[in-house]
Amino acid sequence: MDKKESAALTVAQAWDLLGGAPVISRAAFYNGLRRGQIPGLKIGTRIIIPRGKFLAWLDSAGLRTESQADARN
């Protein structure tokens, strides 16, 4: 992991990484988080998304693009 990359993403960052509104609505993304379909952690009232788990989830679903893979390396 690059020193500039944080270990966790905000919901907005993860949603953008997935492709945002053209791919999935924000409401559907939150529903996926609530159902445990998308990896996330609730800390108090905030939801954070562990970067590694989210990227692994994208890989396993075959959803990651080459540009996202490049951003990981």
All residues at 6 or more sequence positions from 39 whose CB lies less than 8 Å from its CB, including other chains: 49, 50, 53, 54, 57
Write down the pTM of the prediction.
0.74
The predicted structure's pLDDT at residue 27: 96
Q: Name the residue range of residue 33's domain.
A: 8-64
Q: Is residue 17 part of a domain?
A: yes
pLDDT tens for each residue of 2-34: 557 889 999 999 999 989 999 899 999 999 999
Number of structural domains the chain divides into: 1
The predicted structure's pLDDT at residue 36: 93
Which residue(s) pair with 8 in the sheet? 50
The yes-or-no verdict on residue 65 having pLDDT over 60 is no
Cα 32 to Cα 28: distance, rounded to the nearest angstrom:
6
pLDDT tens for each residue of 28-51: 999 999 999 999 999 999 999 999
Q: Is residue 43 part of a domain?
A: yes
